[in-house]
Structure 1
Amino acid sequence: MFRPLELFIGLRYTRAKRRNQFISFISTVSIVCIAISVIALITVMSVMNGFDYQMRSRILGAVSQATITSVDGPIRDVPRALQVAQANPHVLGAAPFVESEAMLIGQRSAGVRVRGIDPAQEPKVVDIGQHMIEGSLADLRPGDWNIVLGRDLAMQLGVGVGDRVTMAVQELRATPMGGIPRMRSFHVTGTFQLGMEQFDSGLALVNMRDAEKLNDLNGPTGIRLRLDDLFSARPVARELADQLGQYYGVRTWMDENANLFHALSMEKLVMFIILSLIVLVAVINLISMLMMLVTDKQADIAILRTLGATPRSIMGTFMVQGLLVGFVGIGFGVGFGALLSWKLPGIIKWIEHTFHVTFLSPDVYYISEVPSRLDWQDVGWTALLTFVFALLATLYPAWRASRTQPAQALRYE
């Protein structure tokens, strides 16, 4: 049976005898420290993945994954553009829209982004309809001059469902008194809440035909698309831009929110590096344990050397001991870390309910619950990094053991 000498002796050293219980205790402490550091790293990465996922899903609930626009005003040939977009196998839905900046006046005033939509087509590309607090997108019928507001925007204007607001757009209307902004009264028929401040306090929805009339346009200003894969947006955008020609442009959700998601990715990377230092500190205990073990086993090392063991064999024996501690710590850390990441939202809710505390106040934060999303790729990188640290930690003590001189070690035995 294949059983290398280094592995046999290294595993035997892990079984503590009565005279080296302290070394066994240090080994246990090393395992616990490595496990705790791995648990912390996996849990924090999972929470950051959860926040990233929540931000993406909430932003993409209001913005399209790709948008076709014209370089010189409204879309020239809407049927053709829709046909080209829907012919792409990665496009699941397409809906035209009109977007402009305007001033809304209720009891108070606020500058907003006004989006004219087709209520029948809009659910194909975004899910604002699923976040309605009052009313429905179906109330935005052409010619009725109805409007749906973000919840925070409605509070800022001091209006509610059933009230009226006045909209002033940038398009000027010629009068004997000169050019004045176009204005129109709208009836508030609903409110929505996406959980993102930039939309809840700065977005208003009207019917697309009403928006075209108010802005004196002869067609939609863009076509919003939903794709089968978020991360294929840029290749699909390039393909559609080539097919549509030079008078069209295609933007993606990555382009419109590049700074935000770049900041989230950078924050996750920085946190991974910082928490990796905790793993490094935990591995230092492993170095101390191995150095004590080498000192305790001087006589054993000398006897092995006299029996013909090579320095490389001695070095391998103590590396087995250190790597075993590392493997056990990584195993416990990955197991408990994955379990904690999976159950963390429920644990946080139990703590908040039991001790009557709130970790993320909905009045302050966009996300009021601590999210957690376990990514096995992060788990793999964490386990690999910890293993590398454990491997490096074994090198110096094992090298010191291989340098032991038999005559000096046995002089006082």
Structure 2
Amino acid sequence: MIRALELMIGLRYTRAKRRNHFISFISLASMLGIALGVCAQITIVSVINGFGTELRARTLSMVAHATVSGFGGEPLQQWPEAVAVAQKLPHVVGAAPYVEREVMLQGGRVSGAIVRGIDPTLEPTVSAIREEIKEGDFAALQPGEFNIVLGKELALWAGASLGDSVLVYAPQVRATPAGLLPQMRRFRVVGLFEAGVSEFDRGMAFIHIQDAQKLFRQGDGVTGVRLKLDDLFQSRAVAESLGAQLQGDFRVRDWTQDNRNLYQALNTEKITMFVIMSLVVAVAAFNLVSSLVMLVIDKQADIAILRTLGLSPGSVMQIFVIQGVVIACVGIAIGTVGGILLAENADRLMNFLEAIFGFDFMPADVYYISALPSDLRMDDVLSIVGLSFVLSTLATLYPAWKAARTKPAEALRYE
């Protein structure tokens, strides 16, 4: 147990001037190293969190939080039952049927695409497609009009623009007197959207659900029902509850299953960067070893006098642990404050650097996310502070143990 005497002497040694100024420099360098390591770790983890949050928001603005579909890709005929059951569940705020198939789309050029048939009145309750329209009118998707809304990248690759006609080839054939011909239909481009996610902007097109049923010859069946929740992290529980209540051949999945690889990659990246930056903090923390060892050598006579006056080896060890912990805590505090300020102003800092150097680090015509997002989370900050404190404390043990082993007679022999 640390007593007032050890605490007082340890704090006194921390404030005292050194006979050897190089020791003061090493202590200062250790403190600044810990501060920089903590600051960098908080900032980098916050930026990774920001990219993950931004990517998740953009992706999930177009992706259903949960999906009900038929087994084996068969059309779902009992979809009104699925909608009725889903709407009674907690956290479900929207449900909309859809028809989805892979097609070939021909404008000035030919490009593959995924066509999704939607109900324009229900689709906005499960996705942000209406808000992502950059050109044209989403309301122009009317039954029987055979209009289509394309992603901007898809329109570019297919050589189509607003008002043009495109041919949509379904993966089916129809028998005619001339033989088997591909099932196709001409659509007019009435809108272009940009969600900020290449998967959708490059490969997705929307038509009215009734036009899709006619094109793919599905009758009144649909591919499935898409759900939106008020809390996306409840998707697994809602999917399990929905699967237990539905009767018949239904397949229920949530967004964590459909986008597992993406979010596993983001989590792996965050963990990897946390480990790498922890090593930086560890290197800075263990610089305390050299500074405290030199301090012990500098204080040999003082330690011998304290031992002669009756101070135990354990008390001597506590004195130097206190001194090392104080240095570490000051460095951690400076780094934490700096990391929080830097994480909260990462975007402003990038804009400032862009103004100084005269070029964009993340140009909007290249990157979908052109700003530098940052999501500061206090649990991450506490984890970083706790880990830094533990590493710094461990670094003080060897020098303190070395001080405790000082023999008074030998230390005072040449004084």
Length-normalised TM-score, structure 1 = 0.97
Letter paired with 2:145: D
| Contact map agreement 2:18 2:24 (CA 8 A) in 1 | no
Q: Secondary structure at the match of 1:205?
A: strand
Q: Secondary structure at the match of 1:104?
A: strand
Structure 2 counterparts to residues 338-353 of structure 1, below 5 A: 338-353=340-355
Q: Distance in 2 between matches of 1:91 and 1:13?
A: 62
- Quote how far apart the aligned CAs of 1:374 are: 0.8
| Contact map agreement 1:302 1:404 (CA 8 A) in 2 | yes
Structure 2 residue aligned with 1:337:
339
Structure 2 residue aligned with 1:179:
180
Task: Tell me whether 1:63 sits opposite 2:63 in the alignment.
Answer: yes
- Quote how far apart the aligned CAs of 1:20 are: 4.1
Structure 1 residue aligned with 2:385:
383
Alignment equivalent of 1:260, drawn from 235, 259, 262: 262
Q: Deviations over 1:98-156 (max 9, x none)?
A: 11111110000101000011111111111121111102321111111110000011111
- Quote how far apart the aligned CAs of 1:18 are: 5.9
Structure 2 residue aligned with 1:370:
372
Q: Which moved more, 1:225-234 or 1:387-396?
A: 225-234
Q: Secondary structure at the match of 1:241?
A: helix
Q: Distance in 1 between matches of 2:17 and 2:347?
A: 44
Q: Deviations over 1:259-300 (max 9, x none)?
A: 111111111111111111111111132111101110011111
Alignment equivalent of 2:277, drawn from 275, 278, 282: 275
Q: Secondary structure at the match of 1:128?
A: coil
- Quote how far apart the aligned CAs of 1:342 are: 0.4
Q: Which moved more, 1:272-281 or 1:356-365?
A: 356-365
Structure 2 counterparts to residues 3-402 of structure 1, below 5 A: 4-17=4-17, 19-71=19-71, 73-217=74-218, 218-402=220-404
Q: Deviations over 1:359-382 (max 9, x none)?
A: 123343332222111111111111
Q: Which moved more, 1:190-199 or 1:363-372?
A: 363-372
Moved over 3 A (4+): none
Letter paired with 1:225: L
Q: Distance in 1 between matches of 2:280 and 2:267?
A: 20
Change (3 A) 1:18 1:40: closer
Q: Distance in 2 between matches of 1:327 and 1:161?
A: 61
Letter paired with 1:221: T
Q: Distance in 2 between matches of 1:57 and 1:402?
A: 56
Q: Secondary structure at the match of 2:196?
A: coil
Q: Distance in 1 between matches of 2:126 and 2:52?
A: 21
Q: Distance in 1 between matches of 2:159 and 2:355?
A: 33
Q: Distance in 1 between matches of 2:11 and 2:120?
A: 69
Contiguous gaps of at least 5 residues in structure 1: none
Letter paired with 1:187: R
Q: Distance in 2 between matches of 1:257 and 1:178?
A: 42
Q: Distance in 1 between matches of 2:60 and 2:31?
A: 43
Q: Distance in 1 between matches of 2:18 and 2:94?
A: 72
Q: Distance in 2 between matches of 1:185 and 1:305?
A: 95
Letter paired with 1:377: D
Q: Secondary structure at the match of 2:272?
A: helix
Q: Distance in 1 between matches of 2:313 and 2:247?
A: 71
Q: Deviations over 1:26-80 (max 9, x none)?
A: 2222111110111111111111111111111111111111111111522222221
Change (3 A) 1:18 1:49: closer
- Quote how far apart the aligned CAs of 1:164 are: 0.5
- Quote how far apart the aligned CAs of 1:22 are: 3.3
Q: Distance in 1 between matches of 2:216 and 2:357?
A: 54
- Quote how far apart the aligned CAs of 1:166 are: 0.6
| Contact map agreement 1:14 1:24 (CA 8 A) in 2 | no
Q: Distance in 2 between matches of 1:277 and 1:101?
A: 47
CA RMSD of aligned residues (A): 1.4
Q: Secondary structure at the match of 2:76?
A: coil
- Quote how far apart the aligned CAs of 1:344 are: 0.6
Q: Distance in 2 between matches of 1:361 and 1:343?
A: 19
| Contact map agreement 1:47 1:370 (CA 8 A) in 2 | yes
Letter paired with 1:63: V
Length-normalised TM-score, structure 2 = 0.96
Letter paired with 2:151: G
Letter paired with 2:238: V
Q: Deviations over 1:222-272 (max 9, x none)?
A: 111111222221121111011113411111111111111111111111111
Q: Secondary structure at the match of 1:130?
A: coil
Q: Which moved more, 1:348-357 or 1:158-167?
A: 348-357
Q: Deviations over 1:294-334 (max 9, x none)?
A: 00111111111112211111111000000001111111111
Aligned length: 412
Q: Distance in 2 between matches of 1:328 and 1:266?
A: 31
Contiguous gaps of at least 5 residues in structure 2: none
Q: Secondary structure at the match of 1:179?
A: strand
Letter paired with 2:140: D
- Quote how far apart the aligned CAs of 1:171 are: 2.3
